[in-house]
Chains A and B, each alone.
Chain A
């Protein structure tokens, strides 16, 4: 158990809809990262937050947004969903200090029908 909790584990929805993925980082971790992994693909970095502030942004679509709340949990919002958004979405957290590794949640599997 990595200590990172992602909910829900599975999500099935239709094109054009909007969903929210939730992540609770490990206790003490201030950084949260979001990744997208399509079938048989690598990890695509979406966005990073540190203690409530956006720190880095990757290949995140304008239809996607995220935030980190004062209690450090984070939410990734995906809107106007398309078939190509079907993927496994990972949240990872880490402590401050660049030597600290990321610890990953089990992911949310999003299926768009």
Chain B
């Protein structure tokens, strides 16, 4: 089974600064999707960004962008101009194209934004 690893349980960033959250995954598959989800204190799960494995161009959504390194099986999330509302738990997820389209989630990184 695929595994998703988020090696940083906690991170902090000063407001207006940039922070990068790490995610690595283990797979033997060639095609898949990767996602970042945000879970603020309200506990809602919110989709932040997604990336298809076959696309070399890194996905971007406003202040959120990814650094996708397929060979290294790395999928990091960069948050620019951090805002207080970015404080949340961030989960990296992998979706297989083959094994029943199941999702695999990492254990999460808790991001604190310091005013």
Asked if residues A48 and B50 are in contact (CB atoms below 8 Å), the reply is: no
Contact-size category for B: 20 to 34
Interface check B44, CB cutoff 8 A: yes
In the complex, what's the smallest C-beta–C-beta distance from B63 to chain A, in angstroms? 19
Chain B interface: which of A64-72, A76-84, A95-103?
Answer: A95-103
Task: Choose from A55, A99, A106 the contact partner of B100 (Cβ within 8 Å).
Answer: A55
Asked if residues A98 and B96 are in contact (CB atoms below 8 Å), the reply is: yes
On A, residues with C-beta under 8 Å from B are 2, 31, 33, 37, 42-43, 45, 48, 50, 55-56, 88, 90, 92, 94, 96, 98-99, 101-104, 106-107
Question: Which residues from chain A contact B37 at a C-beta distance below 8 Å?
Answer: 104
Cα A37 to Cα B91 in complex, Å, equals 13
Q: Please list 7 pairs of residues, one from A and one from B, whose beta carbons are closer than 8 Å in the complex, sorted by A's number.
A: A2-B44, A31-B101, A42-B91, A42-B107, A96-B101, A99-B33, A102-B45
Q: Which of chain A's residues has its CB closest to B42's CB?
A: A106
Cα A56 to Cα B107 in complex, Å, equals 20
Asked if residues B105 and A98 are in contact (CB atoms below 8 Å), the reply is: no
Give the secondary structure class of B's interface: strand
Cα A50 to Cα B101 in complex, Å, equals 10
Segment 6-34 of B: residues with Cβ below 8 Å from A: 31-33
On B, residues with C-beta under 8 Å from A are 31-33, 35, 37, 43-47, 50, 52, 91, 93, 95-97, 99-108
Question: Which residues from chain B contact A101 at a C-beta distance below 8 Å?
Answer: 33, 35, 47, 50, 95
Cα A31 to Cα B103 in complex, Å, equals 11
A98 in contact with B95 given A31-B101, A45-B102, A45-B105 (CB within 8 Å):
yes
Cα A99 to Cα B104 in complex, Å, equals 14
Question: Which residues from chain A contact B44 at a C-beta distance below 8 Å?
Answer: 2, 104, 106-107
